[in-house]
Chains A and B, each alone.
Chain A
Amino acid sequence: MVDHKQIGLTAARIDPDVDLMLRVKEDDAVAFDQLMRAYQARLLRVLRHIVGSESVAEDLVQDVFLRVWRARKNYQPAAKFSTWVFHIAHNVASNSLRDSKRRKEFQVASSEAKSDTFSLDQMAIASTGAMPIRKLDKAERAEMVQTAVQALNERQRMALLLCKFEGQSYQEIADTMELSVQAVKSLLSRARVNLKTLLEPYIQSGALPGEGVDNHDSNETGGANPS
């Protein structure tokens, strides 16, 4: 049987970022600065897709760094540094989403991320083949994919982003999100199938979706967010 703990320790031993973090543990501010500079764009890339807002994501990245600093004395290298830091990022993002949901200040699919051109409603309708299609330019395509990603629930989104952008293995995602590997497998599968449902018309034809959807019922978004 595979010993995951041993794999994590081995990964930590060969990870140069772990060495930096061990220096941070000894109050080395220069090492801390190096780590922050190495991870700020990576964290921002994932977090902005989680919270759907550039400015909130920046605040969260800063929050992650602060937590890393505060937690430095208790740091134990049990896995790659990225696994640990994204675990913190996941917690920070979850807290933020929960708080903002309570305050109802912004939605998961926030107004910043929401497109005037593509709404989830349009995409859901397009996926039924009930509306005309047109060719998309690159910016529109990016917007469409972003809207589709925002439609996933937070856990699916986090698993997907860690897998796609961070190249994390299922085991690493499981460690990051404190889930079983089987749960990660299930999350990623549902995320991919949901995305496929939303984006299939484009995949098949290279175009999606059309204009003039005002008359369609816009309450059919649940299918994109099944969990």
Chain B
Amino acid sequence: MKPNRFDDETLVAYLDGELPGEQANLVEQEINTNAEIRQRVDSLRATWELLLDLPSDPKPTRDLAQSTIELITLELEKKNTSLWSKLRKNRWLMLGSLAILLLSTGLAAGKIVSQLSQQRFMRNLPAVVELTSLRNVYSPNTTTIAGSSATDAEWDAEEDIEWIAKLSEIKNLGNFDPPGKQRQIGKSFVPSNPSDRRAWCDSLNEQERALLLSNYQDFERLPRGHQDNLIKLTQVVYDKSAQTKDTLDAIRAYSALLEEESSRKKREIKTMLPLEKRAAEVQRMVNLRMGQRYAETMPNEDKAVIEKWVEDQMYYLNDIVELYRELTLDSEMSVIKRWDLDPLIDQLSPQAKELYNDIDEKEARSTIAYWIYFVIDPDMIGHVPPEKLRTEFERLSDQHDLLELLPEQDALNILKRRLLGPDALEEAASSGI
């Protein structure tokens, strides 16, 4: 047996490619001729290859870069207490203001802190812009929030992500333009490339910038865990690329829809499970509002059909107020049955028909009442034929003197109230008529 010419160090260095050429050649020759050396080298090599089994692609549980930037920002802030002391109580307001200021003026001042806060601002811009809408999508376990640190709130990311996908499937939601002001910032969505985001911010008008700043302050006040979750949700939306705009429209519309509801109802919808049930409820709400909004844009052909139908109903009813009341009752309780409405629906345009058919029956009846409001001359509501007023006046012979002393309109109102009941005039008044 040959003496062992090579120690482990040499063989390991050979395997690592760290031996000078001449020495490496010697080892190679030895490997080719000496089975014992070959076996030692093979064994060391096999050990090395086993290290490939170690998990090699770790994913940090948090964004270490971002949290480091925050630590540095805090550190720098402490150093600059004299500069910041006046605004110490509202640190993020200051950082946010500074970021906006830098964005809008392009000032190169502020150096590190401004760079860091601006960079953070730019990175989180989509989440900040969509904060109002996303907050209504985001549904951590609120009972946990109430009891302890909000960062510990349980959050089912998959559920919210699935809900975002479902929102995009709700018919007419993306096209739905609910009344009231939408807190939308920018006409387009935030560019995915961070370097284009500055230009996007520059394109905002004064009001949008104010909204953006307000959102930024709100965002920074959120617990860190909530911020991260909202960022994740935004990422999901922005990753959809081709569908991003539609998805954002749906999320914004959904949010606007919820904002019109009471807090209790809003919470009920946000936490409604399963998601199919929640989607059905939102679809119902959208259908109802779409039906109501149709009244404002209704074509003349449909108006004519409604006017004719109302006129026909007046053969059986005293006045339009009565018609309105009947339509607010269930079909079973009302003198206006489904078969009374069918001829009306049949003659309406396909668009009106489709909207009507999408709405639940009870709500469909009140939608018809709503359409009538828009179509029929508002003065007709509370209208009482003059001959009826005269008969009533005659009947109140003992009060003639008093009625004649009153201003004419007041006297007429008294007579109408006696004929229609006390609610009729109030309803007419509250509906702006």
Contact = CB atoms under 8 A, between A and B. Distances in A.
20 contacts: A27-B111, A28-B115, A29-B116, A32-B69, A37-B65, A41-B58, A44-B64, A48-B58, A55-B61, A57-B58, A58-B60, A62-B64, A66-B72, A145-B54, A146-B55, A149-B51, A160-B51, A193-B12, A195-B47, A195-B51
B61 to A, nearest CB: 7
Contacts of A114: none
Nearest to A37: B65
Nearest to B194: A30
A138 B52 CA distance: 11
Interface in B105-141: 111-112, 115-116, 119
Interface in B49-68: 50-51, 53-62, 64-65, 67-68
A58 B64 contact: yes
B50 A44 contact: no
A207 interface: no
Given A45-B56, A65-B64, A66-B71, 4 more contacts: A65-B65, A69-B68, A145-B50, A188-B16
A170 interface: yes
Nearest to A35: B65
A192 B48 contact: yes
B8 interface: yes
Contacts of B43: 196, 200, 203
Given A40-B65, A141-B53, A202-B50, A192 B119 contact: no
Interface in A177-224: 185-186, 188-190, 192-193, 195-196, 199-200, 202-203
Nearest to A44: B58
A65 B70 CA distance: 12
A44 B61 CA distance: 11
A186 B64 contact: no
B9 interface: yes
Contacts of A169: 18
Contacts of A65: 64-65, 68
B59 A62 contact: no
A174 to B, nearest CB: 11
Which secondary structure dominates where chain A touches chain B? helix
B280 interface: no
A66 B72 CA distance: 7
Nearest to B46: A203
B13 interface: yes
Given A45-B58, A66-B72, A189-B12, A29 B112 contact: yes
A30 B46 contact: no
A99 interface: no
Interface of B: 7-9, 12-13, 16, 18, 43-44, 46-48, 50-51, 53-62, 64-65, 67-69, 71-72, 111-112, 115-116, 119
Contacts of B54: 49, 142, 145-146, 149
Contacts of B115: 27-30
A27 B50 CA distance: 43
A36 B72 CA distance: 13
Contact of B65 (A27, A33, A138, A195): A33
A54 interface: yes
10 closest A-B pairs by beta carbon, nearest first, are A36-B65, A29-B115, A189-B9, A65-B68, A189-B12, A196-B47, A203-B46, A142-B53, A40-B64, A44-B58
Contacts of B7: 189
Give the interface centre of B9, B61, B64 by most chain A CB atoms within 10 Å: B64
A87 B385 CA distance: 97
B18 A203 contact: no
Interface in A117-166: 138, 141-142, 145-146, 149, 160, 163-165
B39 to A, nearest CB: 10
Nearest to A61: B64
Contact of A145 (B53, B60, B68, B112): B53
Nearest to B64: A40
Given A58-B64, A192-B48, A170 B18 contact: yes
A58 B61 contact: yes
Contact of B112 (A27, A138, A189): A27
B64 A192 contact: no
B63 to A, nearest CB: 9
A203 B41 CA distance: 13
Contacts of A188: 12-13, 16
A199 B47 contact: yes
B55 A33 contact: no
Nearest to A204: B43
B312 to A, nearest CB: 72
A195 B68 CA distance: 36
A14 to B, nearest CB: 20
A30 B62 CA distance: 19
A62 to B, nearest CB: 5
Give the interface centre of B50, B69, B72, B116 by most chain A CB atoms within 10 Å: B50
Given A30-B115, A149-B51, A188-B12, A36 B58 contact: no
B224 to A, nearest CB: 14
Contact of B47 (A28, A32, A55, A203): A203
A58 B18 CA distance: 32
Given A40-B65, A193-B8, A61 B60 contact: yes
A72 to B, nearest CB: 10
Interface string A44-56: 1100110000110
Contacts of A61: 60, 64
Nearest to A48: B58
Contact of B50 (A54, A69, A203): A203
Nearest to A149: B54
B57 A45 contact: yes
